[in-house]
Structure formats: C-alpha cells, structure tokens
Amino acid sequence: MRHLTKSLKERFRPLIDMTDRAKLKPEEEEKAFLSRAVTALAVKHETGWSDREAAAAVIDDYSDRGIDAVAVEERGDRHHITLVQGKWSEKGNAGFGERELGALFRGLDDLMALEFGKFNSRIEAHADALEKALEGPATVTLVLALVTGSELHPNIQAELKDGLDKRNWVREMIDSKVLNLRDLYQEILGDQGERKITLETWLEGVGKESVPYEAFYGTVSAAEIADWYRDGNQRHLFARNIRDSLDATDVNNKIRATLLGEPQHFWYFSNGITVLCDRMKKKGRGAFVPGAGAGFILEGASVVNGAQTVSAIAHAVQRNPAAGARGRVLVRLISLEDCPEGFGDRVTVAANTQNAIQERDFKSRDQTQFDLRDDFALSLGLSYVIRRGEPEPARTAGCTMTEAATALAATHRTAEMGARAKRDPSLLWEKNNYRELFGRPPSAFHVWGVVRLLREVRENLEKLRSDLFGRVASAAGHADLLIAHAVYYALEMRAVGGKSGQTKDQDIDWDARLAEVPLLTAQGLGWFVAIADTAYGDKSQYVTTARTAERVTVVARRLRERLLQSEPAPDYGDYQVTEQAQGKSGAASRAVPLIVEAGRLEEGTRLEFRPVTKRDRHGLPDWIKADPRRGRAVWRNHKTKPLVWEADGEAYAPSPLARLMRGEAMGNHQQVQGTRYWHVPGEGSLSDIAADLRATDELDAGTEPYSAEG
C-alpha cells in the first residue's frame, strides 16, 4: 500500500484533473485523486498507454454512471473498449457490491445506446471514438480496479456473470476483469516486477545465424511448448511482449482446432514463435551440427511473438495430450547478450506489426472474384478491386470485394446473413457464408446495383442521424444492413408485382429504384425502432437486435411487411433536436416555465453546454475550446430568457442561444430544442429536469408519467 500510494502520487498527480474537487478538504481531495489514479493505472495495465494517455481516459466525476474511465483502441480489424470502475481504500480492503455493479451495468447500457447526455461532460472527449467503435465489430471489457487483497463475493461474481450473459447475445462481445491490489502493484513495478525465467528447450533441424548477432531456429514439439506455459510462467513468459496472450479470440480457437484436428499440419499452418533471452547456453556436449538436434538453456526468456500460439497450444495439449503433443512448431531463439541497447524492443515491435493474412485474402484468389472483376470492366466500365492494399476506386468508378460482400449479405434472402456481417464482417469469408453470397456467381449488374442501394441507405440514415440523439441515433448506426434488407425486399416485390420471379439483372432500372430509397429508409428507421421496442422493450440494445440471428429474423419479417404496405412510420420526434419534432408534444416549449414555476434551480446556478448529435460533436467542441466562456451560462428565474451567456453577458432563451452557437460554430442555423443542450452538472439537461418535474406531478396526481422526452 505504501509503495502503491507513493507511485500513484508521483506518476499521476501532475496529469489527472482535480479542479472539480478543489473545494474539498485535503484528505477528501486526496482520496478522490487516488481513486482516479488507480483507475488510470488500470487503463494503462489494459492498454499499454502512457501515463498521460491513461490519465486522459478518466471521466470520474458526478454523473459518471458508474464508469470512471473510457479507453478505445483499435486491435487488429476491430475496436476494443475498456471501461473501468476504480475503488481506492487506504486500508487495502476496497469493496464492490450490488450498488456499484448495478451502476456499472446502467452506465454500460447508456453507452451502448449512445446516451452520452446522461454522463458528465468528460465523456465528450471520448464520444466520437465510442460511437465509431460501437458501429462496427467491437469488444468491451469491464475492468474492476479494486485496491483489495480479497476476491469478489461469490454473490457479486454470480450477478456479474448473469449481467454479462444477458448482454452477450452477440457472441462474447462483453467480458470482465478484476484487477486487485497485487495486479496494481505489479503494474507500478513495471519491468522490474517481471520475474526472470529460464527455459530449457530442444530444437530439431536446428539452424544458426551468427552475423551480426547470434540466433538459432528449428522445430519444437507442441508438448514442450505447453510445458513452457505451465509452472506459473504464464505472466512472465510474455514479459517483453506488446500484449499478453488473449485466450478468448477467434485466432486462438482456430489454432487449437488445427492442433487437435490436424496435428501433422500444424507446423505448416503456424507462423511460428520468437523467443528473446538475456543469455543462451548450449545444453549437452559436442559441437553444433546444422540440421541436427540441439538443446538450449535460455536465461531471461520471453516470447515476443506467438503468445497466442503458445497459449492455444497449452490449452489444446491440456484438452487432448495425445493429439496435441503430435504437433510441431517453428521457433526462433535470439540472444540479446551481444546486441545493442534497444534491439530487443525493435525485434518485438517488428515481429508484432506485420499485416496478418486474413481469410478474405484467400478468397481474393477465387476464380469467381476474377470473373466479377472482368464483368465489371467489360459490362459496366467500372473497377472491382479484389486485393487488400490496392487503392479503392472512386465512388462512381466501382467498388471493392469487401463492399460487394457486405451489400450482398444485406440484400440476401435471409436477414440473418446481414446480421452476421454486422456482427463480424470476417464471417462473410467463411466457407458456408461465402458460398451463399458468391456460390451462384452474381453478375456485375446485380452487385453494382446492391452496392449502390446499400450506399444510398447508409447515406440517408446518416442524414437522418445528424439531428438525432440517444437510442434512435444508435438505431440509425446499427440497423443499416437490416433496413437495407427490408428496402431491397420492398423494391423487389413492387418490381415483380409481389410474385415470385425476378427481372434480368441488366434490365433493372436501378436509378428508378434508388429514387425511392430516401423515403423507404426514413420509414424503415421509424418502423425498426417501433418493432424492436415492442418486441424486446424500449430499454433493449439495438446493437443486439441488429446482430442477433433470432432477433433479426423476427424484426426483418415485420419490417418487410410494413415497408411493402407503405404504412406511415411511427414518430420518433422525441429523439430529434429540431424544434419541429419536439414541438409535437408541446413539452419542449413548457420546459423553462415549468422549472421556473417550481423554483427547481437557484438563481446563479452554473450551466454547461453539451453537444447532442454526432454533427454537434464534430462542429462545436473546438469552437467552445477556443473560448471556454462560450460553453457556460448562468441561470436566472425568468420564463422567457433564463440563461445569461458568459460569452457576451446577454440573456437568452435556451433554443435561440443554441441556434446562435450552432450557427457561429457550424454554419447551421436550424432551430433546435435548446433545453437538450444546456446541462446542470450532476443533474442532467434542462429537458431532463423538466421531465422529472412532470413525472413527479403526474405521479402525485395518480396518472401515468409523461414520457415524450424519453
């Protein structure tokens, strides 16, 4: 505890913003700081970021919704989101109970629904990254950073698992990790905390590199690799690696499957393992003989490339010792004894930054793709790019193989195919899915048509989304492939008069079809929200609905019916910032008088301006940062002009002021519901405060609470 406290203060005191706690008593301020520092240390542990980057991830403050830090990374072809809740205790017995767990899950649900307005303003620095990550394939880790030597109570462990299971309809999207006092202590020790280990190994078919530095290479049995992993070596075996072994990955699963199912082929399918060591000694007597077998003692050994291979081998051998032990793997041994300083780090980085070969790359060699490329060129005069790394064609000049596969999945006869693409685009290249999409080779006319349709749907959803927030903004991001599926179905059925059969690809008037897409897309979004909320509840996650086969099947069938019948879509105006949309309920215009009449806010209450939509978050933060007074106002109990803007000292109504600010910052003079933009720190927006007052009045009157503002 003494060392941890000292290190946290030295490393994070200059980096973590504590201005919001400046008025606390010194001992209370220090406790709050140490809690944030523990949170930052946990971020560093999970991401490998610098202290400064980890400190910037901290959002702990009033209204943090149980999440003290947010870190978004790109890991390979997907994003990873780390959400941390940190608990400090000077006695080393930090607790974590039902209340903390409930808050953490509520915060997670709010983030998944893009309800950034429910958090404090610190979330804004991460909102864009979160939104981008959650639109594509992403994984989430909930990290409990607890300064304690005790385990979580079994009941809390069970509730944590139950909460994750309920949210993991989409494969293993969300997992959790507990970092205790020992883990945090190891993190502050850094490299000094890594125990040096010694490995003994035997290489068959050994080869040697002598210039400029000594290294050996050869084949090692899978059984011996598994022995490396055992005996408490797991953490220290990967001490120099960029990242520890990641057990729950598709790559590891494939490695294990190969080793258990085809152990004789494992050497050919594996990229091998690289081991660095401080010193290397030959084991046994006799001179080195190239191509023979040789034993080595590796002091200070660390696997710097192939951590996933080592982990997968260990688990496979544990599961089936006989089959697993038959496998062999190529291993490089590099001694750093005579190498210049920093050479080991260069090897580590170089070995881990090569572009991995994906299943998609193998499909680019399929004759079907070559034929499509020729068909695009000869029939349409367009480009069809099939290899990764090639420049993508201009929008009007063609498309890529990946874009084609996504569009074919979205418009497939079963909506489940689109759900797979949304869940993980790499699934489209698996054998059965690829056969469904390209097995009966589609023509260039058809592929180009569905690509244009999907682009049109996405563009229109993005336009709609520019004035949306919260759950419906989330729906516009997650349901693009499902809505495209229903739009395509409606257009196809209308074209053939609702009967089976299809017009020849080259005879389809795609321009006429695409002209109908904007209206159908808007209707599709409205109906998707209504159908999903009716089927799974208005607190359900749209990310789950859009990616889960069972839910997609139900929602798609109902959505196709609604669009085919051209039924007007239900209104989602409560999630639009425009005055016209909000004005339908009349609630927006009554918010300020209601707050004033109730005396809910004291004269002089400070308010902060918060962006609401995705467009706001792109256009407003830099403009406000240039003059922080632009983002602050003071409340006065006046029914028409309650906000005194710090930027000019003038009084405004919330909506005209929001319009003025958006106009100056973004050139957008659209009238919006300003009560959504102005927040009382720790209490929510003026709109939220007014909604709470209405709900209280209606409960007192014995009526159902008004819910127009979500």
Q: Is residue 532 part of a domain?
A: yes
pLDDT at 123: 92
Q: Is residue 52 part of a domain?
A: yes
Answer with the residue of higher pLDDT: 384 or 271.
Answer: 384
Q: Is the pLDDT of residue 446 over 70?
A: yes
Tokens 């011996």: give the residue. 224
CA-closest candidate to residue 554, choices 538, 532, 576, 583: 532
Least confident window among 113-117, 448-452, 480-484 = 113-117
pLDDT grade, residue 248 (50/70/90)? Answer: very low
CATH number of the domain where residue 184 is located? 3.40.91
Segment 366-378 shows an average pLDDT of 94
Shared-domain flag, residues 286 and 424: no
Segment 621-650 shows an average pLDDT of 95
pLDDT at 315: 84
Domain enclosing residue 632, as ranges: 579-700
pLDDT at 263: 87
Q: Is the pLDDT of residue 76 over 60?
A: yes
CB count within 10 Å of CB 38 equals: 26
Whether residue 310 contacts residue 368, with contact meaning beta carbons closer than 8 Å, is answered with no
Amino acid identity at 692: D
pLDDT at 37: 96
Shared-domain flag, residues 209 and 302: yes
Q: Is residue 708 part of a domain?
A: no
pLDDT at 516: 95
Query: Residue 249: CB partners within 8 Å, gap ≥ 6?
Result: 308
In the β-sheet with 302-305, what is the strand arrangement from edge to edge? Answer: 279-283, 294-299, 198-209, 215-221, 328-335, 273-277, 302-305
Shared-domain flag, residues 6 and 155: yes
**Cα dihedral across residues 136, 139, 142, 147: positive or negative:** negative
Answer with the residue of higher pLDDT: 16 or 500.
Answer: 16
pLDDT at 192: 47
Q: Is the pLDDT of residue 36 over 50?
A: yes
Q: Is residue 162 part of a domain?
A: yes
Q: Is residue 706 part of a domain?
A: no
Taking the complete model, does pTM exceed 0.95, yes or no? no
Shared-domain flag, residues 381 and 464: yes
The pLDDT tens digits of the residues spanning 267-307 come to: 988 889 999 998 898 887 777 788 899 999 998 888 888 88
CA-closest candidate to residue 122, choices 682, 627, 687, 688: 682
Tokens 């209308």: give the residue. 494
pLDDT grade, residue 196 (50/70/90)? Answer: low
Q: Is the pLDDT of residue 195 over 80?
A: no
Shared-domain flag, residues 342 and 365: no
Domain end marker among 540, 574, 608: 574
| Count of structural domains, the chain | 4
The most confident of 115-119, 234-238, 251-255, 523-527, by mean pLDDT: 523-527
Element (H, E) at 394: none
What are residue 502's phi and psi, to 5 degrees? Answer: -150, 145
CA-closest candidate to residue 201, choices 299, 271, 291: 299
CA-closest candidate to residue 198, choices 274, 272, 280: 280
Q: Is residue 707 part of a domain?
A: no
The pLDDT tens digits of the residues spanning 144-155 come to: 999 999 989 999
Q: Is the pLDDT of residue 600 over 80?
A: yes
pLDDT at 708: 33
Q: Is the pLDDT of residue 535 over 70?
A: yes
Answer with the residue of higher pLDDT: 48 or 422.
Answer: 422
Shared-domain flag, residues 533 and 639: no
Tokens 């980096």: give the residue. 15
Q: What mean pLDDT, rounded, does the chain reach? A: 87
pLDDT at 458: 96
3-state secondary structure of 264: helix
Shared-domain flag, residues 528 and 600: no
CA-closest candidate to residue 312, choices 394, 222, 206, 380: 222
pLDDT at 503: 65
pLDDT at 584: 45
pLDDT at 28: 93
How do strand 138-146 and strand 383-385 relate by DSSP bridges?
Answer: unpaired
Q: Please tell me the distance from the alpha carbon of residue 322 to that of residue 43, in angstroms, as a whole number.
A: 40
Domain end marker among 190, 213, 244: 190
pLDDT grade, residue 61 (50/70/90)? Answer: confident
**Cα dihedral across residues 43, 44, 48, 50: positive or negative:** positive
Segment 647-676 shows an average pLDDT of 93
Answer with the residue of higher pLDDT: 452 or 468.
Answer: 452
Q: Is the pLDDT of residue 368 over 90?
A: yes
The pLDDT tens digits of the residues spanning 543-592 come to: 889 988 899 999 999 999 999 988 888 888 788 888 655 444 455 568 99
Answer with the residue of higher pLDDT: 474 or 286.
Answer: 474
pLDDT at 682: 82
Rg of the chain on CA atoms, in Å: 29
Shared-domain flag, residues 344 and 372: no
Segment 397-409 shows an average pLDDT of 96
Shared-domain flag, residues 539 and 663: no
pLDDT grade, residue 181 (50/70/90)? Answer: very high
Least confident window among 72-76, 511-515, 690-694 = 72-76
Element (H, E) at 662: helix 654-666
pLDDT at 171: 62
Q: Is residue 709 part of a domain?
A: no
Please give the share of the chain, as a percent, with pLDDT higher than 90. Answer: 56
pLDDT at 235: 55
pLDDT at 699: 62
Q: Kindly provide the residue ranges of all beta strands, DSSP E only, lying in 40-107, ordered along the sequence.
A: 69-75, 78-87
Shared-domain flag, residues 17 and 91: yes
Q: Is residue 401 part of a domain?
A: yes
pLDDT at 705: 45
Q: Please tell me the distance from the alpha carbon of residue 533 to that of residue 318, in angstroms, as a whole number.
A: 45
Domain end marker among 354, 382, 411: 354
Please give the share of the chain, as a percent, with pLDDT higher than 70. Answer: 90
pLDDT at 353: 62
The pLDDT tens digits of the residues spanning 161-178 come to: 999 988 886 566 899 999
Segment 349-372 shows an average pLDDT of 79
Shared-domain flag, residues 603 and 585: yes
DSSP annotation of 93 reads B
Tokens 């419906």: give the residue. 472
Shared-domain flag, residues 479 and 565: yes
